[in-house]
Structure 1
């Protein structure tokens, strides 16, 4: 395959901007929550583009959509790319959407050049990656790989009591295929970085060798409410002051395990939350991350040990519960190498970037060789209406995706793609 093969960057950009009009917000972002009418409109637009490109369409029972371009040997498992088209309530134009439309652009480019691949090429978008309306997050890919059951996903409700199954049926994306029965030969996901590393280093492509694992906790410190004036400092049972020592330890633990140690307290609830009352109870979240499972487990043990020590020393009640755990996800060396080789062939500046955020590729990696491609986003901002990315960077990432997929799919020089009937 010639090194000069490139996608049409303007066409990719135009597609991104057209999709972004569905659910557009006044601040320039997108609000297209999972399984809403706007999500249906976004799905319909992408499926329409796929059909126009000669692709067949399959929908599974959790609403994951697979759009297929035939290969010379359709008995081979397809080389798949994709992401998601649902957004945060105050989301941007590129998170998830870029990965799906980059895949559509790869297919359009192959069509333009009459290039036939040995294995089929597919573009997927997964249901409820964001988890903004329904939990768990990464629902479609999670059901697909068996992380949780279809029944669990179907029963999930939004704040209005509407279930996933009801809403899938309502918008017309309750498919027939059993999740997980769709074959995948390899999976690539192109994505904006959602962090500041690439922009800070002035690099165009991030090769993603792994995604950090995470441990989430709910912690509750119980003391005693009392009047802030009459109660001497030495006689107080101040839940907030004890909680803050644990919060500081969260940061200290992360700093002890660089470069990928992360520690965050993002949610705090103080009771009774009154100006002149000593806090009697504090509930807060803890988020620990690292790229190595052994280090993440060490961080976990140190957190529990510090909480136990603090409880003994202060006499206050402290409860800590781990509420979520995702192990670190190393990507398949063959897919990482394909991305690295494509980047070198195309001459883009590059660096390795471990992802600190979750992606559908975490779950596809359980069932097929998987890898990711990052491009910079402005100021590292994502999950925000001002999320932005340079067209040239998006084009570069899509070019890398094209060549990485071709390396895995193979190119048939003497075959002709036969059209497949497209139907949902």
Structure 2
């Protein structure tokens, strides 16, 4: 039963929102461009401007400050939790009902564009603005959020803020994480002024929906406007360290070397062989970082550090791939006696299916808007996969240009695509927020 409008609600609310709500696409686009100027840099190789706004940096603080100001201007009650997650609440007619939540992140990788994560946060703010503009209410409250350190590039664990909020990762573990310079997450959070006091553990919302760029070519190649995301594939991150013995490149016979660089090269090739073999289903594997020491052309490396990113929609295939990598590391030690090998788990998430009822709400919204869509599985990780552990969850994808390239200054989705996606988000949020 709907309660009378609470005092927190504006007195000039006229009626309950329905599927006719539409956002201001130009205003959304301006927001995306303005946030994208924070942390902007020029890529000399691509001759393009990109964004470098890694988590808990000074630029991240400036971005957070801007987002908080927009939330407050939209009339939201803004709170910062213990992980620095930013949450803004708009009351509903039934203030006691569990809210509908829409969220994403604004932190970036070092070579980003302006859309990854940011579309979901700024789009959710735009939905609130649209409801305010038309003086419309919802039965349930709406909470929008910007989660901390989704990318994982600075502190080594992706979806960190949402993982702690959903209970998969402890607050103490997150605070103790360090970056490459040895700076602690908890200390950096406090340094930028975003170590809040609100309990980080989320009370389960009624539902969660997130709009995001696809970060791949599927929607664009199919000529479709939207993707209804059915789930996220499993992800495994490991850091592998090989310890060999430095030696002169010319004077040391090959058979007497303990070559840390050779071991890393063999592992890289092995990963590609595993992918190409087909034995692991739809496995994808990437060596995204590799560094040798002493890093000199005439010295056999005595140390190599590398990262492995493996992804697959099948948890059994992932388990087999991880086991086979460990077996191969043992083989490398036998091939080069004296070689030291360390494998450190950085992150691991199983595949996550999304809720069919939220998918249905998204599909119905797309149909009402006249937008062609397809069902699609996400190849990238998202905050939604963490929140799916505590509430019905699904995502909306929009197509990207240039084969959907992302984590790159060439990342781009058109104003029309962004407007389509956030209109679908608006209609979906209203549907969910008006449920009993």
Residues in 2 aligned to 1:305 and 1:137: alpha-carbon distance in whole angstroms? 26
Q: Which moved more, 1:75-84 or 1:166-175?
A: 166-175
- 1:4-403 equivalent positions in 2, closer than 5 A: 4-26=20-42, 27-158=48-179, 162-220=183-241, 240-241=261-262, 243-255=264-276, 256=278, 260-270=282-292, 275=297, 282-309=304-331, 317=339, 319=341, 321-323=343-345, 324-379=347-402, 380-403=404-427
Question: 1:66 Cα shift?
Answer: 1.3
Kindly tell me: are residues 159 and 305 of structure 1, through their superposed partners in 2, closer, same or farther at Cα, counting changes over 3 Å?
closer
Structure 1 pair 234–247 and aligned structure 2 pair: CA distance change class (3 A): same
Structure 1 residue 331 displacement after superposition: 1.6
Counterpart contact for 2:166–2:202, Cα < 8 Å = no
- Identify if the C-alpha distance between structure 1 residues 304 and 33 changes in structure 2 by more than 3 Å, giving closer, same or farther: closer
- CA pair 192-275 structure 1, distance change in 2 beyond 3 A: same
Task: Give the SS at the match of 1:83.
Answer: strand
Q: Aligned-pair distance for 1:69?
A: 1.4
* Cα shift at 1:200: 2.9
| Deviation digits for residues 130-188 of structure 1 (CA, Å, limit 9, x no counterpart) | 33444433322122122222233334445666544444444443322111144422111
In the TM superposition, residue 223 of structure 1 has moved relative to its aligned partner by: 6.5
Shift in alpha-carbon separation, 1:408–1:283, aligned structure 2, 3 A: same
**CA distance in structure 2 between the aligned counterparts of 1:315 and 1:39, rounded to whole angstroms:** 46
SS at the partner of 2:135?
coil
Residues 221 and 316 in structure 1, CA contact (< 8 A), matched pair in contact too: no
SS of aligned partner of 1:73: coil
- Does the aligned pair in 2 maintain the 1:222–1:239 contact within 8 Å? yes
Question: 1:303 and 1:21 mapped to 2: Cα distance?
Answer: 41
Q: Aligned partners of 2:246 and 2:171: how far apart in 1? A: 45
Q: Structure 1, unaligned stretches of length 5 or more?
A: 413-424
Q: Do 1:217 and 1:320's aligned partners in 2 also have CA atoms closer than 8 Å? A: no
Q: Distance in 1 between matches of 2:242 and 2:195?
A: 44
Q: CA deviation at 1:79?
A: 0.4
Matched length: 412
Q: Matched residue of 2:431: which SS?
A: helix
Q: Is the 8 A contact 1:373 1:401 kept in 2?
A: yes
1 CA distance for matches of 2:255 and 2:192? 61
Unaligned runs of 5+ in 2: 1-16, 43-47
State the SS of the aligned residue for 1:207.
strand
